[in-house]
Amino acid sequence: MTGPPAAGDGEGPGAAAARLTGRPVTGRKRRSGALTEVPPADGEVVMVKRGDGPGAVRAEAAGLRWLADTGTVRIPAVYGHDREWLVTGRVQAGRPNPRAAVRFGREPAALHAAGAPAFGAPPPGGPEEAYIGAAPMRNRPGAHWPGWYAEQRVLPYPRRAVDQGRLRGAEAAVVERLCERLPDLAGPAEPPARLHSDLWNGNVLWGADGHVWLIDPAAHGGHRENDLAVLHLFGCPHLDDVLAGYQERAPLADRWAERVGVHQLFPLLLHAVLFGRGYAEQALAGARAALGR
């Protein structure tokens, strides 16, 4: 079995796109530190992304394909990847609107219903040591969501935040106490859902075709309320319409809105480790609210 084409020393995004697609390119346009728009000479513009760490590109490519395989959500095509570079299709930007939002809400509902082998199960071909954004995220399967979520998603981060001085020991104990009570706070048991997992507004692209496209997943098996909690966390245009579409296709369990803070613990603590104390304070507020119920 042959692997992906080998990267050249000091290769840039244009050369990577040409090598991985087998098509000549005519230029490039930098979109961010890691993302470049590259127009081939004979076809559609592609996006070229440089990986953040070992295994990051492999994890993202596997996640994109795993989500796309369901036929439920719109995912840019993966044209090629190696250990350093990922080449995907480009989404032509459009404007958010209520009709697209309702339709979008139905799509993750169908994605979640496609399921996963276990909580924490990585996509086929994806590594156990994966990433969410630039941060490491372990995909180690577990049978029961409360214990798996506590051990694999929540508890690694307050310990790191304490070491960094962004969380006090007594505050970390609040998070640990919530994890102990998760079996009582998690709501009705549900089967593992197929998650995007990093479903914040920056990874939700409103296309010129009137549809919503998803990029940059941290895909794995998890609880479906997680994706909706992340949409709430950083805002999403027409969120009420998105939720209406979701509920129409796959109604959520009673009192799901009260559990949003529980599902936001992971992304908030992760952001505390990466970006600072303010996110730790948000996580603590959510944990205390959940414990106070």
Band of residue 282 on the pLDDT scale cut at 50, 70, 90: very high
User: What's the confidence (pLDDT) of residue 2?
Assistant: 37
| Lowest mean pLDDT, pick from 24-33, 58-67, 68-77, 110-119 | 24-33
Distance CA 256, CA 241 (A): 17
Phi, psi of 49 (to 5 degrees): -120, 135
Give the model confidence (pLDDT) of 242-255 as tens digits.
999 999 999 999 99
Locus of tokens 């490491």: 136
Band of residue 10 on the pLDDT scale cut at 50, 70, 90: low
Band of residue 135 on the pLDDT scale cut at 50, 70, 90: confident
Phi, psi of 239 (to 5 degrees): -60, -35
pLDDT of 3 strictly over 50: no
Q: 3-state class of 232 per DSSP?
A: helix
pLDDT of 6 strictly over 60: no
Give the model confidence (pLDDT) of 43-64 as tens digits.
889 999 998 788 899 999 999 9
User: What's the confidence (pLDDT) of residue 5?
Assistant: 52
C-alpha distances in Å from residue 229, one per residue of 40, 65, 245, 257, 258: 38, 23, 16, 9, 10
Q: What percentage of the chain carries pLDDT values higher than 70?
A: 96
